[in-house]
Amino acid sequence: MKKVTLEHLVQDFDLEVICGWDQLNREVEVSDLYRPGLELAGFFTFHPTERLQLLGKTELSFIDRLSGEERKKRFDRLCDPRIPCFIVTRNFEVPTELIKAAETRKIPILRTPVATTRFASKLTNYLEKHLAPMTTLHGVLVDVYGIGVLITGSSGIGKSETALELVKRGHRLVADDAVEIQQTEEGELIGHAPKLIRYLLEIRGLGIINVMTLFGAGAVRDKKKISLAIHLEAWQEKQQYDRLGLDEEKIRIIDTELPQLIIPVRPGRNLAVIIEVAAMNFRLKRMGYHAAQQFVQQLGEAIDETDDWD
């Protein structure tokens, strides 16, 4: 998870700092925002102090109707030291009582000319992107027929060579060796390469190659949603492998489960073609066609017909 400080927000959203210059190193820990309308009316039972507090036209119009003494009491109680900051929208004038209370408790106040709803939408998207859970996995991520395929396996099993063959066949490389994965939404994983090794592919005996330079910009992608995981493992003679495709294994990454295929590797097997077919078959399953289930159904019907003849 990346760290987001108030200084980042000031720079990225061009915010005006009203007070609290020395507190801009505060970190924002949640992506949710809060408009403290109920608190300004005197209801503080469920005040979420860990969120950024937005003050727009509604809140400031209400507080403007109160007497000076009431405003002071409400802002004194509203300014909890745990609040990351207050953000005033539409370039509204910041109440003097709020500035005094915030300075006393060392809470920054920022201001933007953007309308409240529009600014809240942009800020929420920004925070969700930067505060999304992240992990790094050893593997290769390739875009195969529009399906983000995460290829994993032990070192030297042939992941990078398979990715190179897929690129030669017209598919696109996203990341090799290390795949940084962000869970941007519930059930959605986005993978990309670390900046240092972006577009690079390591082939043993050949070294490091730049896929974009060799094959063109159409052979790479910066990021891709991961839909399918394929694990490569050395062929074991006594191991029983799925021959119908009825049993679906899952792999859990962060809080998301992905379907995973176990592909045994041995000389003579064309892994690139197998992964291409796996991606196409995955697309068919999403469209409602499951070849293995249909085969079992037809087999059951054939057996029933034979029993009827007997």
Neighbours of 201 (CB within 10 A): 24
Quote the Cα angle for 251-32-111, to 5°. 140
Q: Which residues contact 119 (CB under 8 A, 6 or more apart)?
A: 13, 54, 87, 89, 112
Please name which of 191, 186, 151 lies closest in space to residue 256, comparing C-alpha atoms: 186
121 is in an annotated binding site: no
Distance CA 249, CA 214 (A): 36
If DSSP states are collapsed to H, E and C, what string results for 234-275?
Answer: ECCCCCCCCCCCCCCEEEEECCEEEEEEEEEECCCCCHHHHH
158 is in an annotated binding site: yes
156 is in an annotated binding site: yes
157 is in an annotated binding site: yes
Q: Is 285 a catalytic residue?
A: no
Q: Is 168 a catalytic residue?
A: no
Distance CA 281, CA 288 (A): 11
Please name which of 148, 136, 137, 151 lies closest in space to residue 263, comparing C-alpha atoms: 151
160 is in an annotated binding site: yes
Q: Tokens in use for 302?
A: 């054939």
Given a contact cutoff of 8 angstroms between Cβ atoms, the answer to whether 140 and 164 are in contact is: no
Given a contact cutoff of 8 angstroms between Cβ atoms, the answer to whether 202 and 180 are in contact is: no
Please name which of 110, 132, 94 lies closest in space to residue 253, comparing C-alpha atoms: 132
Q: Is 76 a catalytic residue?
A: no
Q: Tokens in use for 173?
A: 């490389």
170 is in an annotated binding site: no
Q: Of these residues, 138, 204, 250, 269, which one is catalytic? A: 138
Q: Of these residues, 243, 252, 307, 310, which one is catalytic? A: 243
Q: Is 195 a catalytic residue?
A: no
Distance CA 219, CA 205 (A): 22
Residue whose entry in the numeric block shows the structure tokens 């875009």: 143
Q: Of these residues, 177, 221, 224, 231, which one is catalytic? A: 177
Catalytic residues: 138, 159, 177, 243
Please give the annotated binding residues for ATP, written as ranges.
153-160
Please give the annotated binding residues, written as ranges.
153-160, 202
Please give the annotated binding residues for Mg(2+), written as ranges.
160, 202
